[in-house]
Amino acid sequence: MTTAAESLPFVRIYTDGACRGNPGPGGWACILRHPASGKEVELSGGEPETTNNRMELQAVIGGLRHLTRKTKVEVITDSTYVAQGCNSWMAGWKRNGWQRKEGRKLKPVLNVEYWKKLDELLSKHDVKFTVVKGHSGHAENERCDVLAVAAAEAQR
């Protein structure tokens, strides 16, 4: 018998973000690959004044937004910030009204508008994160870096 998760289409999303100065002009990019068909899509964009972490988040958001139905997804990123945020931190932030603990106090989560959008998109899919070392020769990560840097440069 096939489970619902096994019957979902599977897509890999490779992501990267870049910033020329932090903050400064930034870019993001992702590659969506459907291994069963070999189909691949490259997406990128940028913002004139942003941070690297925001662009790393936007790369995942951009990829997940492109999906039109519930999908099993492996997000491959060089951002431990994004992966840990999604896998470990987000549940606590939500319980605390999108605030994070800093010592004994609660402080607003940085980049909360990106995290909330990402949370909404994650709830629509079956997503797992894989972290790769950036600038280490990983072909898709390198390609995303080229696209993200070009998108950042286009914002200047």
State the average pLDDT over residues 27-33: 98
Q: pTM (2 decimals)?
A: 0.95
Q: What is the pLDDT of residue 4?
A: 61
Inform me whether the pLDDT recorded for 1 exceeds 60.
no
Query: Which domains can be identified in the chain, with CATH numbers?
Result: 4-153 (3.30.420.10)
Going by pLDDT thresholds of 50, 70 and 90, the confidence category of residue 2 is: low
Q: What average pLDDT score do residues 106-128 get?
A: 97
Residues annotated as catalytic (active site), given as ranges = 16-17, 56, 78, 135, 145
| Beta strand 10-19 pairing with 72-77 | parallel
pLDDT, residue 129, reads 98
Indicate if the pLDDT at residue 81 is higher than 60. yes
pLDDT bracket for residue 109 (50, 70, 90): very high
- The model's confidence at residue 126, banded by pLDDT at 50, 70 and 90, is very high
- Rounded distance, CA 63 to CA 12, Å? 9
Q: What pLDDT, on a 0 to 100 scale, did the predictor assign at position 5?
A: 57
- When the pLDDT of each residue in the chain is averaged and rounded to a whole number, the result is 95
Return the DSSP state at 50: E
Q: Which of 3-7, 51-55, 124-128, 135-139 has the lowest mean pLDDT?
A: 3-7
